[in-house]
Structure formats: structure tokens, C-alpha cells
Amino acid sequence: MSEKQTAENEVTSLIEVTREGPVAIVTLNNPKRRNAMGRQMRQLLRDTMHRLMVDDPDSRAIVLTGAGEHFCAGADISEMTKRTILQSREILAESCVVVREMQAGPKPVVAAVEGVAFGAGLSLAVATDYVVAASTARFCAAFLRVGLIPDTGILWTLPKRIGMARAREMLSLATEIDGNKAVKIHLANEVVEPGTARAKAIEVARGLADLPPLGMALLKDALTNAATTMEGALKAEIDYQPILRRSKDHQAACKAFMEKTTPVFTGE
């Protein structure tokens, strides 16, 4: 291997991608620091997620998880050195790109959370479509404790899941909750035994991967970008539904319904 490739391999190990069938598993890989994320790691995650979403025909669904015993302890505080205002603005905007990729991108994303999901780690978890949490997982929007406002899109993604009253409480007071409480308030979609979140997330992702991909893509796009007002939601329907009605996958679904068989979806 050339030196350049070796260097790339060392760098890419901060974010690892593995596969199980149509599911791509993205693993935050900095376990000695509970997967705390510095700028380089965030950029890598952004690029990886983008590539999987738009340039990876082998995957139809994505799982996001953390190496070792934790999901992600948040931003790397040791990197919070003095920066200029414009640098700060750029870095913040950069961190949000992956949130938009996951929320509006064409493939469903399932989070598998063991251990801590603190600060930006929490932001990443709640930016996915479906959160599988170990009962002992710990969720905390720790930002206020270090004198920062909650970031990485969490001001939108958390209230969407748990409502503004509970979100305000978690964001303002930096309260910590476990997996059992998380599923009760709908921060997590499902709670599992410790150690089994990854397997369950892959199972959920496989189920989502079996659904017609075009419908999935347009639905995610509509929910994130259009359906934030009533008129926007209605326009998305009128614009997108005719395309889907004329898609091969929809025809296949109707045919399978009439003939009582199981359809196979190609994405067309």
C-alpha cells in the first residue's frame, strides 16, 4: 500500500463502515474517549454519511452506532480552543450537515445506543429516524453545563421527538435519563437489553430496507423540508405522489396485493 493510502486508512478508522446485507453500519470509533468527536471525526462522519446516502447502491438502510461500550460522549472538549467568530460559525454549520443528511437523505437511519449519548452524541442519536436504546443507555444534553447552547440541530430534532416541554427541561437543565425513561417519552423508539442494541437496530434497518426505496426517499425529504407548514405538506403531496403512483415499485405492490404474493422492490 502507498503511504498515502496507509495514512488514509489511519484517518478513516475514526469512522468505520461495515455491512450486513442491505444495511450499512456506521461506527463512531474513538472508544478510548467514549467516541468523543473532534473536528476531523465530524468531517469524516459527514462525508461517510453523504457517500452512503447518494453513492452506495449496495445499501438501502443505515445503522449508526458507537464502538466499545458507548455511543458518543459529545464534542471533544479539549478541542474547544479559542477561535475567531467566523471559524466558529463555519465549524458549527459543518457539524449540522450530517444532521440534514440523516434527516432528509433517501435512506432510513437507525441509531443503536449503548452507554452514553451526551451533548452532540445525543444530537446525533435523535437526528436518526429510529432510536434503539439499551435500558442502561444514558441520555443528557450536557451543553448548558459547559456554558454552551445545545447544538448540532438538537433544537429541532429533540422537541420533535419528546415535545417542547420535556425538551426545554432536558436542554435547559441538562438532566440525564436512561433508556427506559427515554422510550417512555419517545426520545427512543424502542428499548432493549444492554448489549443487544446493535443487533436490534440491524433488524429494524433490514425491515426498512425491504420497503420501496423511492417512497422512502420522498417521504423523508417531504417530512424534513416541506412539511414544516400545512401548505408545504400539501404541496409535497401533489408534487410527489403522482411520481410514486407511476413508479414500478408501486405497480409491483398493487399487483402483489391482487395476486396475494410478496413483492420485490427495485427502487424504480
User: Within positions 60 to 99, which residues make up the interface with another protein, using CB under 8 A?
Assistant: 77-78, 80, 82-83, 85, 88-89, 92-93, 96, 99
User: What is the Cα–Cα distance from 48 to 19, expressed in whole angstroms?
Assistant: 14
Among 23, 112, 208, 209, binds another protein (CB under 8 A): 208
129 by DSSP, 3-state: which?
Answer: coil
Q: Does 224 bind another protein (CB under 8 A)?
A: yes
**Residue number, 17 or 227, with CB nearest to another protein:** 227
Q: What sign does the dihedral 211-217-221-226 (CA atoms) show?
A: negative
Pairing between β-strand 15-20 and β-strand 61-66 as defined by DSSP bridges:
unpaired
Q: Does 254 bind another protein (CB under 8 A)?
A: yes
Q: Does 172 bind another protein (CB under 8 A)?
A: yes
- Residue 127 corresponds to which amino acid? A
| CA distance linking residue 143 with residue 42, whole number of Å | 17
User: Mask 14-53, x = binds another protein (CB under 8 A)?
Assistant: ----------------------------------------
- Rounded least distance, CB 30 to another protein, Å: 17
Judged by CB, which is closer to another protein: 17, or 144? 144
Phi, psi dihedral angles at 264 (to 5 degrees): -120, 130
Say whether residue 180 binds another protein (CB under 8 A).
no
| Site membership for another protein, residue 222 (CB under 8 A) | yes
Beta pairing, strands 15-20 & 23-28: antiparallel
